[in-house]
Amino acid sequence: MAPLRSYVSGGWQAPAEDGVPLFDAVTGEQITSVSSKGLDLAAALEHGRRVGGPALRELTFHQRAALLKALASFLREHRDELYALSARTGATRTDSMIDIDGGIGVLFGYGSKGRREMPNDTVYIDGNLEPLSKGGTFLGQHVCTPLRGVAVQINAFNFPVWGPLEKLAPAFVAGVPTLIKPAEQTSYLTARLVELILESGLLPEGTVQLVCGSTGDMLDHLTEQDLVAFTGSASTAQVLRAHPRIIGNAVRFTAEADSLNCSILGPDGKVGTPEFDLFVKALASEMTVKAGQKCTAIRRAFVPAELMDDVAEAVGARLAKVKVGNPTSDGVRMGALASLEQREEVRRSLKALMEVGRPVFGSPDHVDVIDADAERGAFISPILLRADDPACAQPHEVEAFGPVSTLMPYTSTEHVISLAARGKGSLVGSVVTGDTGFARDVVVGAAAWHGRMLVLDTDSAKESTGHGSPMPHLVHGGPGRAGGGEEMGGIRGVLHHMQRTAIQGSPKVITAITNRWTTGADRNDDGVHPFRKSLAELKIGDTVVGGPRLVTQEDVDHFAEFTGDKFYAHTDPEAAAANPFFDGIVAHGYLVVSLAAGLFVDPAPGPVLANYGLENLRFLTPTYPGDELTVTLTAKQITPRADAEHGEVRWDADVTNQNGESVAKYDVLTLVAKTHG
């Protein structure tokens, strides 16, 4: 039986030994074996830096995002094959959807965010310009550029598809190649995932590599430009974090560790209320999905002391309906743990938990299974424990990484906040309540110990993704025991893979570096109205000046009548004069903007297709009847859209009065054709 191959340095390579055997979690049958012996891991890292990195950095953020979207579509067409392998890890169809479809969803999410929230460029502008001099000739700007290393990901066994993809997506958009090192138990599924990625032919060579087996001496070859992202146990995270190379080179290291996540039922969640039912359903689901092998699973369930019996009975009744067995069989809702070793680990942890908690449902030593052998397969029963003394240490310190949760009572809002904090850092906590005051108190009180907090009520229940579902838009990670790191979080995850650098220079220099026109940089007024130029012809700095235009009292009166905006500053001379900001009747701000548009718009049909937005509007100086307005419109940023015959142009609009004072400043957004015949 051939061992798993790794994909490194541009090719598939077999290990120098058979290595560790890998078994079907359901049948106990050997599937393959895994080892990294004989692989040149230093060369693999260098291949990523030398080949993958330059290829990615040649692409813009939009181009990288488009490749992720295409890859997501390709993988979605081949997911049935991944489902079949996923069942051998003990996962049910629902479990596999969370892992496989969830991972593909992250690719789609970053494909969308990369195109909508990042420029069609290779440099990301972070924050606003910082004026560093009185005259405006010396400015500062933070920019982000890709690190010149490799994003090494060391993943856990429980999500062999989602884990690699949720780390790959932000690194890829950032322009940093990835090396995937999956956990051994389920690495055969990750290996097939990488095979599919390579078969798609979509990603440049060197941008994705795979090492099956141990990390070997990989970490010994990290440079200051590399990154490491780890998912797994807190103890392993501590060992990796302390590696001399990571410390010596200040390698960016982020950990997402298993944590003692909690869920809290609010005092309003009495029997018969929707909140009671939502809590019971969520707890039972989080215990059994992926057989409880989720870093976000509910390990501690806190309920008002007077509801302990009711909750225990209701959750037990729900768990009794869960059929355990072969995940491909009809009716089975919970499969096996990932391995027999994992089952023994859960049983060892249960011994400590059962010193202070008694089983309300389930047994660590017996489970009835469907279409499988309970001993050859890594099966275990869902187990709900009850610890009536929440002050005991074990539930707040020991995690059984399986279908296990401990029910504990609380007596007040302050009490439950203190209990939640005893987990010493969690990935997620949830509060099930219809009482917004209680929800606020708990969230504000416990947020410092949590990376994410879900408040579940009847309003959100139908669309909520649930306690245990990280989303690509939001950060996934947590403080303390949870690892102290962050993953995903939308563009935050992309920027983690980039270096933020403060650029100082003149407006002309800042404009050249950022591809975004900066006040004070050169303008180009060549006599051709910029609205007559297609995207291919338009240049940063192209300018048109319109005006002057006299603002009359009749203009102000007409605008007030026409729009219905009769605010006293525009209609009552005495009241306007009493306002500390005005010297009498002032023109409406939106009248100023409307008049400015009339000054810069070229009315004839041309390459400008639509005005679709106005941003960052500020009114800086009041406009009075008798003032004359001039507007200067400058092409600020040009963003072609790869999937359309047009692009976005951002224009800087500066409206000034006869004294040269800026009356209003804002950005105008237009859609402009790439070519115009």
**Residues assigned a catalytic role:** 256, 295
Distance CA 213, CA 148 (A): 26
CA quadruple 410, 413, 417, 418: dihedral positive or negative?
Answer: negative
Which among 567, 559, 541 is positioned nearest to 637, based on CA atoms? 541
Distance CA 256, CA 260 (A): 13
Contacts with 278 (C-beta within 8 Å, 6 or more apart), sequence order: 432, 456, 457, 458, 461
Q: Which residues pair with 550 in a beta bridge?
A: 628
Burial, 637: exposed, middle or buried (Cβ in 10 Å; 0-12, 13-18, 19+)? buried
Distance CA 561, CA 557 (A): 6
Burial, 235: exposed, middle or buried (Cβ in 10 Å; 0-12, 13-18, 19+)? exposed
Assign residue 594 a region (left: φ > 0; alpha: ψ between -120 and 50; beta: otherwise). alpha
**In the 8-state DSSP scheme, what is residue 242?**
T
72: part of which helix (H) or strand (E)?
helix 61-77
Distance CA 649, CA 667 (A): 10
10: tokens are: 């541009």
Please give the C-alpha separations between residue 227 and each of 8, 149, 177, 224, 482, in angstroms, as whole numbers: 18, 7, 10, 8, 19
φ/ψ of 36, rounded to 5, equals -115, 10
